[in-house]
Amino acid sequence: MLLFLNLGGGEIIIIMLFVLMFFGADKIPELARGLGRGMREFKDAANEIQREIENGSRDVKKQISLDQDYDEVVEKVKKDVADNAIETPTIKSIETPKEEVKPIIVGGVTIAAPNESVAR
């Protein structure tokens, strides 16, 4: 059984007889040429669409590759900076000697004295 668009052999013969009677034997070659031309244009359009899709996907793949390369470079630079960074010394607790605060007397008034209240 011949299947073409879910048509059997008998159905295709009936359609061909209908075309022969409706258009006549003289018009069948022109119809076949027109049908062939139309199929070729359809195929060319389908190929063009496929090419555009492939080009678009190629551009996307290229962009993804560039993004991955960029991320790899950033990570490498971060690692290099971290590896080559000069370690800064940590400052340990620095104890300064506690100095005595000497009372300052201005005009008979004590301005600052250790652990004493201000006297007048």
Q: What pLDDT, in 10s, does the model give residues 23-52?
A: 888 888 888 899 899 999 999 999 999 999
What pLDDT score does 47 carry?
A: 95
The CA distance from 71 to 65, in Å, is 10
Has residue 102 got a pLDDT over 80?
A: no
The CA distance from 8 to 63, in Å, is 50
The CA distance from 84 to 65, in Å, is 28
Q: Which residue has the tokens 């793949």?
A: 61
Give pTM, 2 decimals: 0.41
**67 C-beta neighbours (distance < 10 Å), count:** 10
What pLDDT score does 58 carry?
A: 85
Instruction: Determine the length of the chain.
Output: 120
